[in-house]
C-alpha cells in the first residue's frame, strides 16, 4: 500500500522546494529554523527554473501514478493542501488522517491526547514556512506570480 502525497498547486511545490534548498529549512519545529528564515537573503528565483521544475515534477508525478496503476498497487492519493493549508478545518484533517489509518489497516484515531497533538502539528500558522512576507523577500517572485498566479 502506498500513500501518494501530491500538491494541488505545483508552482507552490516548486517554490517551496526552492526555498528549502536555499535555506536548509524543510519544516519548522525549532526557533533556530524560524530565525534562519528571517535572516536569509535570497538570490533571485529564475522563472525558467520554475517552468522547467514544474514540467519535470508534473511528468514525474504522472509517471509514478501510471506505474502504481499499471502494477495494480493499492494507493491513496493525498493532497498536501488538505492537510496543511490554512483555512482547512481540523475536523476535515482528522477525517483524512482516519481515512489514511483505515487504508493502512490501522485503528482510527479518537483519543483526545492524540487529537490535541494533531491540532498542534497541522496548525499552518505555526508550521508553514512560505508566507506572503517571505515571498515578498524573494527577488523574482513578482514575475513568477504574474505568470502563474499569486501564491498564498
CA–CA distance, 106 with 123 (Å, rounded to integer) = 24
* DSSP designation for 19: H
Mean pLDDT over 56-68 rounds to: 96
Q: If pLDDT is split at 50, 70 and 90, which confidence band does 53 have?
A: very high
**pTM (2 decimals)?**
0.80
For 69-112, the pLDDT digits (tens) are 999 999 999 998 898 887 888 889 999 999 999 999 999 999 98
Contact (CB, 8 A) for 27 and 127: yes
Question: For residue 91, what is the enclosing H or E element?
Answer: helix 90-103
CA atoms 5, 118, 105, 100: torsion sign: negative
Amino acid at each position: 500500500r502506498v500513500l501518494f502525497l501530491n500538491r494541488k498547486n505545483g508552482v507552490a511545490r516548486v517554490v517551496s522546494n526552492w526555498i528549502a534548498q536555499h535555506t536548509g529549512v524543510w519544516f519548522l519545529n525549532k526557533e533556530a529554523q524560524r530565525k534562519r528564515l528571517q535572516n536569509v537573503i535570497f538570490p533571485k528565483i529564475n522563472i525558467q527554473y520554475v517552468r522547467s521544475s514544474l514540467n519535470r515534477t508534473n511528468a514525474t508525478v504522472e509517471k509514478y501514478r501510471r506505474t502504481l496503476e499499471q502494477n495494480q498497487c493499492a494507493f491513496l492519493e493525498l493532497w498536501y493542501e488538505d492537510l496543511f493549508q490554512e483555512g482547512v478545518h481540523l475536523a476535515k484533517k482528522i477525517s483524512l488522517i482516519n481515512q489514511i489509518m483505515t487504508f493502512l489497516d490501522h485503528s482510527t484515531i479518537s483519543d483526545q491526547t492524540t487529537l490535541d497533538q494533531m491540532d498542534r502539528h497541522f496548525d499552518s500558522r505555526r508550521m508553514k514556512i512560505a508566507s506572503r512576507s517571505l515571498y515578498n523577500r524573494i527577488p523574482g517572485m513578482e514575475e513568477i506570480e504574474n505568470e502563474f498566479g499569486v501564491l498564498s
